[in-house]
Structure 1
Amino acid sequence: MTLAPRVVLVHRRTEYEELVARHGTPGQAAFFLASRGRSAEEVEGRHRRQGAALAEAAAAVPLEWRRSRVERADLPRFLFEPRDVVVVVGQDGLVANVAKYLDGQPVIGVDADPGRNPGVLVRHRADALAALLRAAVARGGAGGAVEERTMVEAVADDGQRLLALNEVYVGQPGHQTARYRLAVDGAAEAQASSGVLVGTGTGATGWCRSAWLERGAPLALPGPGAPALAWFVREAWPSPASGTARVHGLLDGGRQLALTVESEHLVAFGDGMESDALELVWGQSVRVGVAATRLRLLG
Structure 2
Amino acid sequence: MSLAPRVVLVHRTTEYEELVARHGTHGQAAFFLSSRGRDIAELAERHRRTRRALAEVTAAVPLTWRQARVERADLDRFLFAPEDVVVVVGQDGLVANVAKYLAGQPVVGVDTDPGRNPGVLVRHRPRDAATLLPAVLARSAGVEERTMVEAVADDTQRIVALNEIYLGAVGHQTARYRLGLEGDGGVVEAQASSGVLVGTGTGATGWLRSVWRERGGGTRLPEPAEDRLLWFVREAWPSPATGTSLVAGELSAAAGLRLTIESERLVAFGDGMESDALELTWGQSVRVGVCGERLRLVG
Q: TM-score, normalised by structure 2?
A: 0.97
Partner of 2:135: 135
Contact residue 91 and residue 111 of structure 2 kept, 8 A? yes
CA offsets 1:69-120 (integer angstroms, 9 cap, x no match):
1111111111111010000000000001100110000000000111110000
Secondary structure in structure 2 of the residue aligned to 1:136: helix
1:22 corresponds to 2:22:
yes
1:115 corresponds to 2:115:
yes
Secondary structure in structure 1 of the residue aligned to 2:170: coil
- Structure 2 unpaired stretches of 5+: none
Q: Please give the alpha-carbon distance, in whole angstroms, between the structure 1 residues aligned to 2:35 and 2:148.
A: 42
**Runs of 4+ off more than 3 Å:** none
RMSD of the TM alignment (CA)?
Answer: 0.8
Partner of 2:143: 146
Equivalent pairs: percent with the same residue? Answer: 74
Paired residues in the alignment total: 296
1:82 corresponds to 2:82:
yes
Map residues 158-237 of structure 1 onto 2, 5 A cutoff. Answer: 158-184=155-181, 185=184, 186-237=186-237
Equivalent position amino acid for 2:75 in 1: L
Q: Please give the alpha-carbon distance, in whole angstroms, between the structure 2 residues aligned to 1:72 and 1:208.
A: 23
1:68 corresponds to 2:68:
yes
Q: Please give the alpha-carbon distance, in whole angstroms, between the structure 2 residues aligned to 1:76 and 1:177.
A: 28
Secondary structure in structure 1 of the residue aligned to 2:221: coil
Q: Please give the alpha-carbon distance, in whole angstroms, between the structure 1 residues aligned to 2:275 and 2:68.
A: 25
Q: Please give the alpha-carbon distance, in whole angstroms, between the structure 1 residues aligned to 2:224 and 2:35.
A: 42
Q: Please give the alpha-carbon distance, in whole angstroms, between the structure 2 residues aligned to 1:91 and 1:170.
A: 25
**Cα offset, 1:210, TM superposition:** 0.8
**Cα offset, 1:253, TM superposition:** 3.4
Secondary structure in structure 2 of the residue aligned to 1:131: helix
Equivalent position amino acid for 1:258 in 2: R
Q: Please give the alpha-carbon distance, in whole angstroms, between the structure 2 residues aligned to 1:118 and 1:12.
A: 17
Q: Please give the alpha-carbon distance, in whole angstroms, between the structure 1 residues aligned to 2:284 and 2:205.
A: 31
Equivalent position amino acid for 1:115 in 2: G
Secondary structure in structure 2 of the residue aligned to 1:62: coil
Q: TM-score, normalised by structure 1?
A: 0.97
Q: Please give the alpha-carbon distance, in whole angstroms, between the structure 1 residues aligned to 2:195 and 2:56.
A: 43
1:69–1:253 Cα change, 3 Å: closer
Secondary structure in structure 2 of the residue aligned to 1:174: helix
Equivalent position amino acid for 2:230 in 1: A
**Cα offset, 1:218, TM superposition:** 2.1
Secondary structure in structure 2 of the residue aligned to 1:98: helix
Equivalent position amino acid for 2:203 in 1: G
Further displaced range: 104-113 or 181-190: 181-190
**Cα offset, 1:238, TM superposition:** 1.0
